[in-house]
Amino acid sequence: MATSKPILANSIATMNTWKENYIWVITADTIMMNENTSFPTLIIRSPKFGYGTLTKLDYECSAEITRSNGHVKVSFALVEKPVKPVVKLVKITVLIRVGIKSLSSIEGAPYIRDTTNGMKYDRTFVFGPHFPDKVDSIKVTMDFLMETEPLVRHLSAFDEADDDTISTESFSDYFMSKFLSDVTIVCDEKEIPAHKFILCKRSPVFRKMFQGENLESNENKVVIVDEYATVMDMMNWMYQGSTDDLDLQGAIDLYKLSDRYELHRLTRTCSKLIYAGIKVETALEIYLLGKVYQDQPLVDKAVCVIIKNKEDVFADEKTCAEYYEKFPEFMHSFFTEKFT
């Protein structure tokens, strides 16, 4: 009997790459053998596991374990390969138990190969001088890193299924249409035809706005003082469940606007794109953004980048002085490394 489970150890994201580190543990009990028979080949497939917060793809791994002449050979390969993948083994550990006695072998930093072309990682472990005829259990731990480009650079209203309060209907036929339009969104002196029913269905803020005798309800007009492109991204999302491609600044602007109108699913998706864009040049801005909006994952990731790259983050004395003046508490935390 063999069991296996891949466990997500950690993930690293940039705007161009998504990396996730998994630890896969395989165990098999009561393996019988003698000198005339080779170690039975175990071909084990992992349960499906999610890969990539932005891509939301599922994959399986397979491991082939064989024994010959006192050696254990371990091969590792993906059953379903990601798009443009780079799969790297970090470490393989083999533990064989005979009664209360343990025989172990540890392989660290194996040669890096790319499994895109179906190549396997073969590793041979020596348990000698004589491999036991009866093995009570064998445990193989594989630590591997999966890396690919995020497939989703636009946002979908239906990415996350944990919010049942928002309909997954699409109203794309009504986007920018004056047909049955009963409200106008005004931004940068431009008018966007809209429909109260759709706005209310998506946003609690619009729902409250159009109830009662307030200005927006009476005049059927809503003025939004944000960038026109950002407002259009929000409207596009509410009507069609998607946006055009966003750069980092576009994701930040849409994050703020979606939070204001309580479009929680859109806010979470923007947060993932922003998280993927945290690097030396953006860590400071995103740290402050995370603090203001109480987005702890953004804060934690930005802090890690800031602490590791202090000299680069504040290489400009003028910038450092400006931040000291505007955010004295934050700057004190930065230099004392007492972030919260």
pLDDT in tens, 35-80: 444 455 667 776 666 554 443 456 667 777 776 666 777 777 776 5
Model confidence at 317: pLDDT above 80: no
Q: Is the pLDDT of residue 254 over 90?
A: yes
Spatial contact of 25 and 140, defined as CB atoms under 8 Å apart: yes
User: How many angstroms separate the CA atoms of 86 and 239, rounded?
Assistant: 37
d(CA 188, CA 176): 16
Is the pLDDT confidence value at 159 over 60?
no
User: What is the assigned CATH class of domain 172-336?
Assistant: alpha beta
Is residue 9's pLDDT more than 50? no
Tens of pLDDT along 207-252? 888 886 666 657 788 899 889 999 999 999 988 887 777 888 999 9
Residue 234, number of CB atoms within 10 A of its CB: 23
Q: What are 85-101's pLDDT values in tens digits? A: 566 666 778 887 777 77
Contacts of 192 (CB under 8 A, 6+ apart): 176, 184, 185, 186, 231, 232, 235
pTM of the model: 0.51
Q: Return the CATH class of domain 2-148.
A: mainly beta
pLDDT at position 87 is 67
DSSP structural state of residue 110: P
Question: Which residues in the chain are classed under CATH 3.30.710.10?
Answer: 172-336
Residue range 8-24: mean pLDDT, rounded: 50
Asked if the model's pLDDT at residue 107 lies above 70, the reply is: no
As annotated, the residues of the chain forming the CATH 2.60.40 domain(s) are 2-148
Least confident of 153-162, 193-202, 239-248: 153-162
Lowest mean pLDDT among 23-32, 224-233, 285-294: 23-32
